[in-house]
Structure 1
Amino acid sequence: MNDLKNILVAVDFNDAVGDLLGYAEGLAEKFGAKVWVLHVAEPEPDFVGYEPGPQYIRDFKAEEFREEHRNLQMYCDNFLSDNIEKEALLIQGSTVEAVLKEAQKLESDLLIVGTHKHSFLHNLLKESVSLELLKKADIPMLTVPIDE
Protein backbone atom coordinates (compact mmCIF):
# COMPACT_ATOMS: atom_id res chain seq x y z
CA MET A 1 0.00 0.00 0.00
CA ASN A 2 2.84 2.41 -0.78
CA ASP A 3 0.95 4.16 -3.57
CA LEU A 4 -1.82 5.84 -1.60
CA LYS A 5 -2.94 9.03 -3.38
CA ASN A 6 -6.67 9.30 -2.70
CA ILE A 7 -8.43 8.32 0.52
CA LEU A 8 -12.22 8.34 0.50
CA VAL A 9 -13.89 8.58 3.91
CA ALA A 10 -17.63 7.82 3.73
CA VAL A 11 -19.35 9.43 6.71
CA ASP A 12 -22.80 9.40 8.18
CA PHE A 13 -23.64 12.30 10.49
CA ASN A 14 -24.37 9.68 13.20
CA ASP A 15 -20.79 8.40 13.02
CA ALA A 16 -17.97 9.44 15.29
CA VAL A 17 -16.59 11.41 12.34
CA GLY A 18 -13.52 12.53 14.30
CA ASP A 19 -12.44 8.90 14.75
CA LEU A 20 -12.76 8.15 11.03
CA LEU A 21 -10.94 11.31 10.00
CA GLY A 22 -8.21 10.60 12.56
CA TYR A 23 -7.32 7.41 10.70
CA ALA A 24 -7.51 9.23 7.37
CA GLU A 25 -5.28 12.04 8.62
CA GLY A 26 -2.56 9.67 9.84
CA LEU A 27 -2.47 7.84 6.52
CA ALA A 28 -2.70 11.02 4.43
CA GLU A 29 0.26 12.56 6.28
CA LYS A 30 2.34 9.41 5.93
CA PHE A 31 1.65 8.94 2.20
CA GLY A 32 0.97 12.52 1.07
CA ALA A 33 -2.55 11.52 0.02
CA LYS A 34 -5.63 13.65 -0.54
CA VAL A 35 -8.64 13.02 1.71
CA TRP A 36 -12.14 13.14 0.27
CA VAL A 37 -14.90 13.29 2.91
CA LEU A 38 -18.12 11.96 1.39
CA HIS A 39 -21.66 11.93 2.69
CA VAL A 40 -24.49 10.45 0.66
CA ALA A 41 -27.73 12.38 1.20
CA GLU A 42 -31.11 10.78 0.67
CA PRO A 43 -32.43 11.07 -2.88
CA GLU A 44 -35.14 13.62 -3.53
CA PRO A 45 -38.56 12.24 -2.63
CA ASP A 46 -40.54 11.21 -5.66
CA PHE A 47 -43.63 13.30 -6.10
CA VAL A 48 -46.73 12.03 -7.82
CA GLY A 49 -47.13 13.34 -11.35
CA TYR A 50 -44.60 15.00 -13.59
CA GLU A 51 -43.96 18.15 -11.59
CA PRO A 52 -40.94 18.10 -9.26
CA GLY A 53 -43.16 19.02 -6.31
CA PRO A 54 -44.16 22.23 -4.56
CA GLN A 55 -41.55 25.02 -4.63
CA TYR A 56 -41.43 25.36 -0.82
CA ILE A 57 -40.42 21.69 -0.49
CA ARG A 58 -37.72 22.09 -3.15
CA ASP A 59 -36.43 25.21 -1.34
CA PHE A 60 -36.41 23.40 2.01
CA LYS A 61 -34.53 20.45 0.53
CA ALA A 62 -31.98 22.74 -1.12
CA GLU A 63 -31.34 24.54 2.19
CA GLU A 64 -31.01 21.20 3.99
CA PHE A 65 -28.49 20.10 1.36
CA ARG A 66 -26.43 23.31 1.77
CA GLU A 67 -26.47 22.87 5.55
CA GLU A 68 -25.18 19.29 5.26
CA HIS A 69 -22.41 20.45 2.93
CA ARG A 70 -21.41 23.18 5.42
CA ASN A 71 -21.24 20.53 8.18
CA LEU A 72 -19.04 18.31 6.02
CA GLN A 73 -16.71 21.22 5.26
CA MET A 74 -16.55 21.99 8.99
CA TYR A 75 -15.53 18.37 9.68
CA CYS A 76 -12.75 18.69 7.10
CA ASP A 77 -11.50 21.95 8.63
CA ASN A 78 -11.77 20.83 12.26
CA PHE A 79 -10.54 17.24 12.09
CA LEU A 80 -7.95 17.32 9.31
CA SER A 81 -4.68 19.19 9.57
CA ASP A 82 -4.10 22.20 7.31
CA ASN A 83 -1.19 20.57 5.51
CA ILE A 84 -3.46 17.83 4.11
CA GLU A 85 -5.24 18.32 0.81
CA LYS A 86 -8.92 17.67 1.53
CA GLU A 87 -12.33 18.12 0.02
CA ALA A 88 -15.91 17.66 1.25
CA LEU A 89 -18.34 15.95 -1.13
CA LEU A 90 -22.09 15.73 -0.70
CA ILE A 91 -23.99 13.68 -3.25
CA GLN A 92 -27.48 12.24 -3.42
CA GLY A 93 -28.36 8.67 -4.15
CA SER A 94 -28.49 5.14 -2.87
CA THR A 95 -25.66 4.92 -0.33
CA VAL A 96 -23.72 1.82 -1.38
CA GLU A 97 -23.94 2.47 -5.13
CA ALA A 98 -23.14 6.17 -4.70
CA VAL A 99 -20.06 5.50 -2.54
CA LEU A 100 -18.70 2.87 -4.94
CA LYS A 101 -19.33 5.08 -7.98
CA GLU A 102 -17.60 8.04 -6.31
CA ALA A 103 -14.66 5.85 -5.22
CA GLN A 104 -14.18 4.80 -8.82
CA LYS A 105 -14.55 8.34 -10.16
CA LEU A 106 -11.97 9.71 -7.69
CA GLU A 107 -9.60 6.78 -8.32
CA SER A 108 -9.62 6.09 -4.58
CA ASP A 109 -6.89 3.84 -3.23
CA LEU A 110 -8.58 3.30 0.14
CA LEU A 111 -12.12 3.54 1.47
CA ILE A 112 -12.63 4.26 5.17
CA VAL A 113 -16.03 3.62 6.78
CA GLY A 114 -17.41 3.22 10.29
CA THR A 115 -19.05 0.02 11.46
CA HIS A 116 -21.70 0.14 14.14
CA LYS A 117 -21.83 -2.50 16.84
CA HIS A 118 -25.40 -3.71 16.60
CA SER A 119 -26.91 -6.72 18.26
CA PHE A 120 -26.60 -10.11 16.58
CA LEU A 121 -30.34 -10.12 15.83
CA HIS A 122 -30.20 -6.67 14.25
CA ASN A 123 -27.34 -7.77 12.00
CA LEU A 124 -29.31 -10.83 10.92
CA LEU A 125 -32.33 -8.76 9.97
CA LYS A 126 -30.67 -5.80 8.30
CA GLU A 127 -27.31 -5.77 6.59
CA SER A 128 -25.28 -2.68 7.27
CA VAL A 129 -24.03 -0.32 4.59
CA SER A 130 -20.42 -1.06 5.54
CA LEU A 131 -20.97 -4.82 5.15
CA GLU A 132 -22.59 -4.25 1.76
CA LEU A 133 -19.63 -2.06 0.76
CA LEU A 134 -17.20 -4.75 1.89
CA LYS A 135 -18.91 -7.25 -0.39
CA LYS A 136 -18.96 -4.98 -3.45
CA ALA A 137 -15.89 -2.73 -3.21
CA ASP A 138 -12.92 -3.54 -5.39
CA ILE A 139 -10.50 -1.32 -3.47
CA PRO A 140 -8.95 -1.83 -0.01
CA MET A 141 -11.26 -0.86 2.86
CA LEU A 142 -10.58 0.16 6.43
CA THR A 143 -13.55 -0.31 8.76
CA VAL A 144 -13.45 1.53 12.07
CA PRO A 145 -15.69 0.24 14.90
CA ILE A 146 -17.97 2.98 16.26
CA ASP A 147 -19.70 2.82 19.62
CA GLU A 148 -23.27 4.05 19.64
Structure 2
Amino acid sequence: MKNLLVAIDRRQDAEQLMTHAINIAKLTDAKIWIMHVTEADPDDFLAREAGPQYVYEKRAKERKNASVEIQKWVEEVKEKYSIDIEGLVISGEVAKSIKKIVDERNIDLVVAGHKKKNLLYGLFAANKKKDLIDDLKIPLLAIPLI
Protein backbone atom coordinates (compact mmCIF):
# COMPACT_ATOMS: atom_id res chain seq x y z
CA MET A 1 0.00 0.00 0.00
CA LYS A 2 1.58 3.23 -1.17
CA ASN A 3 -1.19 5.87 -1.38
CA LEU A 4 -4.05 6.58 1.04
CA LEU A 5 -6.83 9.06 0.33
CA VAL A 6 -8.58 10.64 3.31
CA ALA A 7 -11.89 12.16 2.23
CA ILE A 8 -12.77 14.93 4.69
CA ASP A 9 -16.14 16.60 4.76
CA ARG A 10 -16.58 18.19 8.16
CA ARG A 11 -13.79 19.70 10.25
CA GLN A 12 -14.99 18.02 13.45
CA ASP A 13 -14.65 14.56 11.83
CA ALA A 14 -11.25 15.18 10.24
CA GLU A 15 -9.14 14.40 13.29
CA GLN A 16 -10.78 11.02 13.75
CA LEU A 17 -10.20 10.11 10.10
CA MET A 18 -6.64 11.42 10.12
CA THR A 19 -5.77 9.35 13.20
CA HIS A 20 -6.69 6.15 11.35
CA ALA A 21 -4.90 7.21 8.17
CA ILE A 22 -1.73 8.13 10.08
CA ASN A 23 -1.70 4.75 11.83
CA ILE A 24 -2.07 2.93 8.50
CA ALA A 25 0.57 5.12 6.83
CA LYS A 26 3.08 4.47 9.63
CA LEU A 27 2.57 0.71 9.27
CA THR A 28 2.78 0.65 5.47
CA ASP A 29 5.05 3.63 4.73
CA ALA A 30 2.26 5.05 2.54
CA LYS A 31 1.70 8.60 1.37
CA ILE A 32 -1.48 10.33 2.60
CA TRP A 33 -3.61 12.51 0.35
CA ILE A 34 -6.11 14.65 2.31
CA MET A 35 -9.03 15.67 0.15
CA HIS A 36 -11.98 17.99 0.69
CA VAL A 37 -14.65 18.45 -1.97
CA THR A 38 -16.48 21.77 -2.13
CA GLU A 39 -19.65 22.68 -3.97
CA ALA A 40 -19.00 23.54 -7.61
CA ASP A 41 -19.94 26.86 -9.18
CA PRO A 42 -22.23 26.68 -12.21
CA ASP A 43 -20.33 26.16 -15.46
CA ASP A 44 -22.89 28.10 -17.45
CA PHE A 45 -21.96 31.79 -17.74
CA LEU A 46 -25.62 32.82 -17.86
CA ALA A 47 -26.36 30.90 -14.65
CA ARG A 48 -23.50 32.73 -12.94
CA GLU A 49 -24.82 36.09 -14.11
CA ALA A 50 -28.34 35.30 -12.86
CA GLY A 51 -27.26 34.13 -9.42
CA PRO A 52 -26.62 36.41 -6.45
CA GLN A 53 -23.00 37.48 -5.99
CA TYR A 54 -22.98 36.60 -2.28
CA VAL A 55 -23.41 32.91 -3.16
CA TYR A 56 -20.18 32.91 -5.18
CA GLU A 57 -18.37 34.94 -2.54
CA LYS A 58 -19.48 32.50 0.17
CA ARG A 59 -18.26 29.51 -1.87
CA ALA A 60 -14.92 31.22 -2.55
CA LYS A 61 -14.50 31.91 1.16
CA GLU A 62 -15.37 28.30 2.05
CA ARG A 63 -12.81 27.00 -0.47
CA LYS A 64 -10.15 29.34 0.89
CA ASN A 65 -10.86 28.28 4.49
CA ALA A 66 -10.78 24.60 3.50
CA SER A 67 -7.44 25.09 1.72
CA VAL A 68 -5.92 26.82 4.75
CA GLU A 69 -7.20 24.11 7.11
CA ILE A 70 -5.93 21.26 4.95
CA GLN A 71 -2.53 22.90 4.55
CA LYS A 72 -2.35 23.27 8.33
CA TRP A 73 -3.02 19.53 8.78
CA VAL A 74 -0.41 18.71 6.13
CA GLU A 75 2.26 20.73 7.94
CA GLU A 76 1.35 19.28 11.36
CA VAL A 77 1.48 15.68 10.12
CA LYS A 78 4.78 16.24 8.30
CA GLU A 79 6.33 17.81 11.38
CA LYS A 80 4.98 15.41 13.98
CA TYR A 81 5.09 12.06 12.13
CA SER A 82 7.47 12.58 9.17
CA ILE A 83 4.85 11.12 6.83
CA ASP A 84 4.64 12.05 3.16
CA ILE A 85 1.36 13.94 2.84
CA GLU A 86 -0.38 16.33 0.45
CA GLY A 87 -3.68 18.18 0.55
CA LEU A 88 -6.29 18.71 -2.14
CA VAL A 89 -9.37 20.93 -2.29
CA ILE A 90 -11.56 20.13 -5.27
CA SER A 91 -14.87 21.56 -6.48
CA GLY A 92 -17.51 19.18 -7.76
CA GLU A 93 -19.60 16.15 -6.93
CA VAL A 94 -18.08 14.09 -4.10
CA ALA A 95 -18.20 10.55 -5.52
CA LYS A 96 -16.93 11.62 -8.96
CA SER A 97 -14.16 13.73 -7.43
CA ILE A 98 -12.98 10.89 -5.20
CA LYS A 99 -12.99 8.44 -8.11
CA LYS A 100 -11.02 10.92 -10.25
CA ILE A 101 -8.32 11.36 -7.58
CA VAL A 102 -8.17 7.59 -6.97
CA ASP A 103 -7.46 7.07 -10.66
CA GLU A 104 -5.03 10.00 -11.05
CA ARG A 105 -2.97 9.35 -7.90
CA ASN A 106 -3.01 5.52 -7.91
CA ILE A 107 -4.75 5.42 -4.53
CA ASP A 108 -4.74 2.03 -2.78
CA LEU A 109 -7.21 2.77 0.04
CA VAL A 110 -9.85 5.45 0.65
CA VAL A 111 -10.52 6.43 4.27
CA ALA A 112 -13.90 8.13 4.73
CA GLY A 113 -16.34 8.80 7.53
CA HIS A 114 -19.71 7.15 7.93
CA LYS A 115 -22.57 8.56 9.95
CA LYS A 116 -25.63 6.36 10.39
CA LYS A 117 -28.85 7.92 9.10
CA ASN A 118 -32.36 6.88 9.98
CA LEU A 119 -34.53 4.55 7.88
CA LEU A 120 -36.65 7.35 6.42
CA TYR A 121 -33.57 9.20 5.19
CA GLY A 122 -32.31 6.03 3.52
CA LEU A 123 -35.58 5.50 1.66
CA PHE A 124 -35.69 8.95 0.07
CA ALA A 125 -32.04 9.92 -0.39
CA ALA A 126 -29.63 8.65 -2.99
CA ASN A 127 -27.11 6.24 -1.50
CA LYS A 128 -23.88 8.04 -2.44
CA LYS A 129 -21.69 5.70 -0.37
CA LYS A 130 -23.02 2.63 -2.19
CA ASP A 131 -22.50 4.37 -5.54
CA LEU A 132 -18.91 5.19 -4.56
CA ILE A 133 -18.20 1.64 -3.38
CA ASP A 134 -19.63 0.26 -6.63
CA ASP A 135 -17.47 2.63 -8.74
CA LEU A 136 -14.18 2.16 -6.88
CA LYS A 137 -11.96 -0.79 -7.65
CA ILE A 138 -10.09 -0.43 -4.35
CA PRO A 139 -11.01 -0.84 -0.67
CA LEU A 140 -12.95 1.88 1.15
CA LEU A 141 -12.40 2.07 4.91
CA ALA A 142 -15.59 3.57 6.40
CA ILE A 143 -14.87 4.98 9.85
CA PRO A 144 -17.96 5.28 12.08
CA LEU A 145 -18.17 8.90 13.17
CA ILE A 146 -19.25 9.70 16.69
- Between the two proteins, the alignment pairs up a number of residues equal to 144
Structure 2 counterpart SS, 1:118: coil
- Contact 1:15/1:114 (CA < 8 Å) preserved in 2? no
Once the 2 structures are TM-superposed, how far is the Cα of residue 65 of structure 1 from its aligned partner? 1.7
Q: Which amino acid aligns with 1:49?
A: L
- Contact 1:9/1:37 (CA < 8 Å) preserved in 2? yes
Structure 1 counterpart SS, 2:83: coil
Structure 1 counterpart SS, 2:81: coil
Mind listing any 5+ residue stretches in structure 2 that lack a counterpart? Answer: none
* TM-score (norm. length: structure 2): 0.83
Structure 2 counterpart SS, 1:49: helix
Q: CA RMSD in A?
A: 2.6
1:64 paired residue number: 62
- Contact 2:39/2:59 (CA < 8 Å) preserved in 1? no
- Contact 1:47/1:53 (CA < 8 Å) preserved in 2? no
Mind listing any 5+ residue stretches in structure 1 that lack a counterpart? Answer: none
Between Structure 1 and Structure 2, the one with more helix by share is 2
Greater displacement, 122-131 / 133-142:
122-131
Output the CA distance in 2 between the equivalents of 1:119 and 1:21: 26
Query: Structure 1 vs Structure 2: percent identity of aligned residues?
Result: 26
Q: Are 2:31 and 1:34 equivalent residues in the alignment?
A: yes
Output the CA distance in 2 between the equivalents of 1:50 and 1:117: 35
- Contact 1:42/1:92 (CA < 8 Å) preserved in 2? yes
Cα distance change, pair 79–17 in 1 and its aligned pair in 2 (3 A): farther
1:101 paired residue number: 100
Once the 2 structures are TM-superposed, how far is the Cα of residue 100 of structure 1 from its aligned partner? 0.3
* TM-score (norm. length: structure 1): 0.82
